[in-house]
């Protein structure tokens, strides 16, 4: 009866708790006091007043108690038997084939045996993390055994388990196995119970030929031999001779046959010569024989960046001058430049005179060999105040045509002013005039001999050739301090598509626009530059006079050579990927940037990206944003080399192109190593005084009979809804009301 009145059985060890918020209790108390105060007024005998107010006080107190939510809380514990946790390795290495079956089949057989013995065991599976439940596949990345054991300890919150079972091949990619291999006495892992290890996989059953590692040094020099060295490993191939193939961009370059030693290992070295600069994807591949456990590790790609060792520059000058001397000194002082310079030359007329060899220049100008045979070995050709007619003779058209083809095919040409250059050098109407960034009169205009200081154009403020310092305002200040020029050649106008970087402050061209002094242009695959003055050497003096050295002159010509050489920072169109190598399934971001001839961001340009994956082609389309950039994405679906080619156009006119390369591989670090690590698993079991069972063994699971856990149970009895409280509140409220009525009050 009492239990019913209290709403349940109240144990002696319980505690009273109030569940209502403090503000609710305060409001209830204030309301009760207000109600009690409201009942005080009225004429009645003193005994009746005391009896009535006492009843109201008890009734209101009962209501306050009910609103406060009293609960009687009792806790008790009970002891449960210890649990056994089973951890199954579900990483991709469990897919390695042994006698035609994956290791996962062995793992599932071991798991079934353990579950038959311990049907109530808690099941987990792990790769690089611990997951509750039996494995639903064997595709998890990585294998971190120590991480899985730590996660298990956290889950059981310090409880001592009756046993821990691990089913794995021992190919741990975490720190535990790394310490075992590196340290003499590695620290054992923390295991929340006796450990039993069931190994799956057998070394003798694995057949695997793989490329373990490829070393290229990361970069190479153009036209210089470099080595690509590969380590080959073959489980089950000891003593056999296998072919090893080197590929570049998916195509075979060469092949060698190597014999594996008694441990199934061999090293092979390929000597390679790169003819072009850029990024190139090489790969080393071995055959996939029948029964190969992991075909994905039979090839390994490596991206090699090929750079120029030295830039070959041909400088041809019509006569010695200060300008020739300064530029020649600059080029010879640059260790990255290999300079071939001619500036005291024999003409055809000299050869027909009565002068002896001792009275003429040291050597005859080998113009025929230079411009018919050796031209394509140079990266940059500079004509500095050079008139071709006295030297080229009857082959002038042919040799100038060679120069035109050289530029259009990817070469670089710079023509510098003087009394033997541009129109004064009779270049108007020649094949070479077709690739200059300015139009040249056939007859040759008279030069302007007035001193002047060239002015930067809007394009010149942005262009890498005339950007001497990064800050635009400071760069303009540098140019404003430059020494005056003595005069300039006069050209007709800049060609359409050329970028005019410096202009004359007063002279104008045939269209009335400021006369170009420095102009650049992309011609086919190559580039050309026209500098119509022959006194740029004075720019070194203007800064030196102010105590700032000759940096203006040096930076200008360094920028010019870099731009002519198509340095990646000076290209109008660039394309790249954040990484060189990707795995199948990853997303590849192709970033394309485009600039106009003046190197301002080219917005609204149409971008077409072609991807060639060893014969599989795809296309991406996009349009550049206000920053001249577009980012296109594609999934890495197929392994192998991917050559990316970009074409950019604006309003139907081609802007330019660029290319890059990246490699996609199915190679998985999880299966780089296929032989199960028996030594590691035996050490693991011994380090914690556990048990080890080899492949196919069905030994007992170690268990701690004293292990267990106390389960805490909490019982709550809500006193605020107990019948006794309702009865008391009703009783005292009724008595108070009766006393009040009998006293003559309402």
pLDDT for 441 equals 87
Provide the CATH number for the domain around residue 325. Answer: 3.40.50.880
| 118 and 151, same domain (yes or no) | yes
Confirm whether 273 is domain-assigned: yes
Gap between the Cα atoms of 689 and 698, Å rounded: 18
| Three-state secondary-structure class, residue 145 | helix
Judge whether 65 lies within some domain.
yes
Regarding whether 441 and 335 lie in a shared domain, the answer is: yes
Same domain, 195 and 94: yes
Asked whether the predicted pLDDT for residue 643 surpasses 50, the reply is yes
- State the CATH number of the domain containing residue 247: 2.60.40.10
The verdict on 378 and 331 lying in the same domain is: yes
369 and 496 part of one domain: yes
pLDDT band at 193 (very low <50, low <70, confident <90, very high): very high
pLDDT at 3: 64
The predicted model gives 78-106 an average pLDDT of 84
pLDDT in tens, 313-358: 899 888 888 999 999 998 888 777 888 887 755 555 555 555 555 5
**Of 543 and 686, which is predicted with more confidence?**
686
pLDDT of the residue at 309: 64
Are 185 and 244 within one domain?
A: no
Round the average pLDDT of the chain to a whole number and report it. Answer: 83
In a domain, 337, yes or no: yes
What is the share, in percent, of the chain residues with pLDDT greater than 90? 31
b or e along 19-53 (b: 16 or more beta carbons within 10 Å of the residue's beta carbon)? eeeeeebeebeeebeeeeeebeeeeeeeebbebbb
* Residue 478 forms part of a structural domain: no
Is 36 or 508 the better-scoring residue by pLDDT?
A: 508
What angle (nearest 5°) sits at the alpha carbon of residue 265, between those of residues 262 and 270? Answer: 135
For position 218, what pLDDT does the model report? 60
Length, in residues, of the chain: 746
Given a cut of 90, is residue 216 above it in pLDDT? no
CATH number of the domain at 638, please. 2.60.40.1930
- Beta-sheet strands, E only, within 101-224: 101-102, 122-126, 130-132, 163-168, 195-199, 208-215, 219-221
Residues 73 and 88 occupy one common structural domain: no
**399 and 255 in a common domain:** no
Task: Tell me, yes or no, whether 524 lies in a domain.
Answer: yes
Give dist(CA 39, CA 53) in Å, integer: 7
Q: Are 440 and 510 in contact (CB under 8 A)?
A: no
The SS3 call for residue 471 is: coil
Considering the domain architecture, whether residues 425 and 513 belong to the same structural domain is answered as: yes
- The predicted model gives 142-170 an average pLDDT of 90
Domain boundary among 548, 564, 580: 564
The alpha carbon of residue 585 and the mean position of all alpha carbons in its chain are separated, in whole angstroms, by: 15
- Whether 112 is covered by a domain: the verdict is yes
Q: Are residues 334 and 189 in the same domain?
A: no
> Cα 709 from chain centroid?
49
Answer yes or no: is pLDDT of 2 > 70.
no
Q: Which is nearest to 298 in space by CA: 652, 723, 639?
A: 639
- CATH number for position 192: 3.40.50.410
Structural domain count of the chain = 5
By C-alpha distance, which of 367, 489, 468 is closest to 421? 489
Q: With pLDDT > 70 as the criterion, what percentage of the chain qualifies?
A: 87
Q: How far apart are the first and last CA of the chain?
A: 37
Whole-number pLDDT of residue 362: 46
> Looking at residue 274, what is its pLDDT?
75
Residue 374, pLDDT > 90, answer no
Q: Are strands 225-235 and 208-215 parallel, antiparallel or unpaired?
A: antiparallel
Question: Is the domain of 291 the same as that of 323?
Answer: no
Q: What is the pLDDT of residue 669?
A: 62
Q: Is residue 484 part of a domain?
A: no
Boundary-marking domain end, from 241, 270, 304? 304
Model pLDDT, residue 349: 56
Range from 41-55, 302-316, 539-553 carrying the lowest mean pLDDT = 539-553
Residues 359-382 have a mean pLDDT of 74
Residues 6+ apart with CB under 8 A from 737: none
* Average pLDDT value for residue range 599-604: 84
Name the DSSP letter for residue 205.
G
Query: In what helix (H) or strand (E) does residue 348 lie, and over which residues does it extend?
Result: helix 348-352
Same domain, 619 and 645: yes
Sole residue written with tokens 């003595």: 486
pTM (whole model) above 0.85: no
Higher pLDDT, 159 or 76: 159
Q: By C-alpha distance, which of 690, 584, 583, 666 is closest to 145?
A: 690
pLDDT, one tens digit per residue, over 649-691 is 998 888 888 888 887 776 666 666 777 889 999 999 999 999 9
Query: Does 696 score more than 80 pLDDT?
Result: yes
Lowest mean pLDDT among 98-112, 221-235, 415-429, 434-448: 221-235
Closest C-alpha among 445, 447, 458, 450 to residue 506? 450
- Given a cut of 60, whether residue 360 has pLDDT beyond it is no
pLDDT of residue 337: 81
User: What's the domain range around 652?
Assistant: 570-665
Say if 460 falls within a structural domain. no
Domain end (from 272, 304, 336) = 304
pLDDT band at 553 (very low <50, low <70, confident <90, very high): confident
């Amino acid at each position: 009866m009492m239990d019913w009145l209290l709403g349940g059985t109240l144990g002696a060890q319980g505690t009273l708790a109030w569940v209502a918020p403090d503000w609710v209790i305060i409001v209830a108390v204030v309301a009760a006091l207000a109600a009690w105060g409201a009942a005080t007024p009225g004429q009645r005998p003193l005994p009746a007043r005391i009896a009535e107010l006492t009843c109201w006080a008890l009734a209101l107190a009962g209501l306050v108690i009910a609103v406060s939510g009293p609960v009687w809380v009792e806790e008790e514990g009970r002891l449960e038997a210890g649990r056994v946790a089973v951890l199954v390795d579900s990483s991709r290495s469990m897919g390695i084939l042994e006698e035609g079956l994956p290791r996962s089949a062995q793992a599932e057989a071991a798991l079934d045996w353990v579950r038959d013995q311990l049907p109530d065991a808690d099941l987990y599976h792990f790769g690089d993390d611990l997951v509750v439940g039996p494995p639903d596949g064997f595709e998890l990345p990585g294998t971190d055994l120590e991480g899985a054991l730590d996660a298990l300890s956290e889950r059981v919150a310090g409880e001592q388990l009756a046993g821990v079972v691990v089913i794995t091949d021992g190919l741990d990619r975490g720190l535990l196995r790394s310490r075992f291999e590196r340290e003499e006495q590695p620290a054992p892992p923390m295991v929340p119970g006796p450990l039993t290890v069931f190994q799956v996989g057998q070394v003798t059953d694995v057949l695997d030929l793989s490329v373990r590692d490829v070393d290229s040094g990361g970069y190479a020099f153009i036209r210089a031999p470099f080595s690509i060295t590969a380590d080959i490993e073959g489980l089950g191939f000891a003593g056999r001779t296998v072919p090893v193939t080197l590929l570049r961009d998916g195509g075979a370059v060469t092949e060698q046959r190597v014999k594996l030693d008694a441990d199934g290992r061999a090293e092979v070295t390929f000597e390679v010569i790169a003819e072009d600069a850029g990024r190139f994807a090489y790969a080393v591949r071995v055959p996939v024989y029948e029964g190969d456990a992991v075909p994905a590790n039979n090839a390994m790609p490596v991206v090699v960046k090929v750079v120029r060792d030295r830039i070959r520059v041909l400088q041809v000058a019509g006569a010695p001058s200060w300008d020739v001397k300064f530029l020649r000194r600059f080029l010879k002082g640059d260790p990255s430049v290999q300079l071939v310079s001619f500036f005291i030359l024999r003409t055809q007329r000299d050869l027909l005179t009565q002068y002896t060899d001792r009275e003429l220049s040291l050597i005859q100008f080998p113009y025929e060999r230079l411009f018919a045979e050796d031209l394509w070995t140079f990266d940059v050709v500079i004509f500095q105040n050079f008139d071709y007619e006295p030297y080229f003779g009857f082959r002038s058209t042919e040799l100038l045509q060679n120069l035109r083809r050289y530029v259009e095919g990817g070469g670089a040409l710079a023509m510098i002013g003087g009394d033997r250059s541009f129109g004064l050098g009779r270049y108007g109407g020649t094949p070479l005039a077709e690739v200059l960034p300015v139009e040249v009169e056939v007859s040759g205009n008279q030069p302007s001999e007035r001193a002047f200081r060239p002015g930067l154009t809007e394009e010149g403020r942005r262009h890498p050739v005339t950007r001497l310092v990064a800050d635009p305002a400071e760069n303009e200040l540098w140019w404003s301090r430059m020494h005056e020029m003595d005069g300039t050649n006069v050209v007709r106008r800049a060609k359409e598509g050329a970028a005019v970087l410096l202009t004359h402050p007063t002279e104008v061209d045939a269209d009335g626009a400021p006369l170009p002094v420095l102009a650049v242009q992309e011609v086919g695959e190559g580039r050309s530059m026209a500098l119509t003055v022959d006194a740029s050497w004075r720019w070194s003096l203007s800064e030196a006079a102010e105590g700032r050295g000759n940096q203006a002159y040096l930076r200008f010509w360094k920028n010019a050579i870099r731009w002519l050489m198509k340095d990646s920072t000076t290209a109008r169109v660039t394309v790249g990927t954040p990484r060189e190598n990707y795995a199948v399934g990853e997303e590849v971001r192709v970033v394309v940037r485009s600039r106009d001839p003046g190197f301002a961001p080219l917005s609204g340009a149409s971008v077409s990206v072609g991807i060639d994956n060893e014969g599989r082609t795809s296309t991406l389309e996009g349009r550049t944003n206000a920053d001249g950039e577009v980012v296109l994405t594609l999934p890495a679906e197929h392994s192998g080399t991917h050559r990316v080619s970009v074409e950019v156009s604006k309003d139907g006119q081609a802007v330019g192109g660029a290319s890059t390369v990246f490699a996609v591989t199915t190679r998985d670090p999880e299966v780089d190593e296929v032989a199960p690590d028996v030594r590691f698993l035996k050490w693991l079991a011994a380090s914690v005084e556990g048990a080890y069972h080899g492949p196919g063994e069905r030994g007992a699971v170690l268990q701690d009979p004293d292990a267990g856990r106390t389960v805490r149970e909490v019982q709550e009895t809500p006193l605020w809804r107990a019948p006794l409280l309702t009865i008391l509140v009703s009783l005292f409220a009724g008595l108070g009301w009766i006393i009040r009525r009998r006293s003559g009050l309402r």
